[in-house]
Structure 1
Amino acid sequence: MLIQPVADLLSRNADHYLIPADVVANVQTNNNLYHAFLVLTKVKYSKIPVLDHGGHFEGLVSLPLITEQMLGFDQLNTEILLQKRVCDVMETRVKTVQNVDDVEETLHLMIDNPFVPVVDEQRIFQGIVTRREFMKSFNFLTHEIGKQYDMIEKDFSTSEKAK
């Protein structure tokens, strides 16, 4: 559990964490892998959200998932990119958050992920929270917490000697 001063300062910037869905590169479940490969290459990301026609979040697709499909024994099979769909290879077991203000849950998810998808109650894709945006706020926190709160330095050397 986050201590209250940390939670307060991180929550203060919560409205800046969300990168809205309309500016996040994505593909749809029925797009072929060739299209997904082009989008990923063009935006220079290794992983992007996958949506259905209704804007519901369905999963993530990545360059490694696509290139794995092309690997043959002695050559690359690029024809497979036109034959297979994103839904055939996408990662579907993806943890999401509904509330950007839940700083602690989002932080836990970002330990292993560069971004966390944000969805509403109906799983409509709202956008992403990136580790980069969180780190900017954490940087702010480390510089401001002493100005906002009285910080008392604790002497841990005496408690270590008692053990």
Structure 2
Amino acid sequence: MQIDSFVLPKDEVAFISSSASMREALEQLEYHHYSAIPIIDSEGKYLGTLSEGDLLRKIINTPGLNVDDMQQVPITDIKKRIHSECVSIHADMEDMLALAADQNFVPVVDDEHVFIGIIRRKDIIEYYMRNITD
């Protein structure tokens, strides 16, 4: 099985631009009910994943930070505790599964490191459950 059969394409995935503010990131996470969101640069390349925990740590470690101030905080100023790995669209299933064990989703990139979508751990589990129990 190829990993491309699991990919949820970019046009169906919420992501944020690397130029977004902390407030914009929070709004996107809330709107989509996500706990983490991919960060994409102006060239479409995957830069990393921003999590709710990253945002909470920034709030806790920035005395006096309020909702209005968050519009002035670029997401590039927010330290990420966990570096979420991405996988090439040409990667082996084993490589993708190893990452999915530790991440809710695995970002997928092409040969130029351009973000093309994600593979959700939920979809992987559902696929194996259908095929194991059938």
Contact 2:18 2:76 in 1 (8 A): yes
Match of 1:96 in 2: 86
Runs of at least 5 residues in structure 1 that lack an aligned partner in the other structure: 1-10, 145-163
Deviates more, 1:86-95 or 1:37-46: 86-95
Q: How many residues align?
A: 133
Distance 1:100 1:140, change over 3 A: farther
Match of 1:149 in 2: none
**Greater strand percent: which structure?**
2
Task: Please report the TM-score for the alignment, with normalisation by the length of structure 1.
Answer: 0.72
Structure exhibiting the larger radius of gyration computed from Cα positions: 1
Match of 2:23 in 1: 34
CA distance in 2, matches of 1:135, 1:72: 36
Contact 2:6 2:124 in 1 (8 A): yes
Runs of at least 5 residues in structure 2 that lack an aligned partner in the other structure: none
> Is 1:120 aligned to 2:110, yes or no?
yes
**Greater helix percent: which structure?**
1
Residue number among 5, 18, 28 corresponding to 2:7 in the alignment: 18
Residue 43 of structure 1 aligns to which amino acid in structure 2?
H
Contact 1:71 1:77 in 2 (8 A): no
Contact 1:21 1:125 in 2 (8 A): yes
Residue number among 57, 80, 85 corresponding to 1:68 in the alignment: 57
Please report the RMSD computed on the Cα atoms of aligned residues, expressed in angstroms: 2.3
CA distance in 2, matches of 1:46, 1:67: 11
Q: Deviations over 1:27-46 (max 9, x none)?
A: 01111111110000000001
Contact 2:48 2:85 in 1 (8 A): no
Give the secondary structure class of the aligned counterpart of 2:5. Answer: helix
Distance 1:15 1:69, change over 3 A: closer
CA distance in 2, matches of 1:44, 1:37: 10
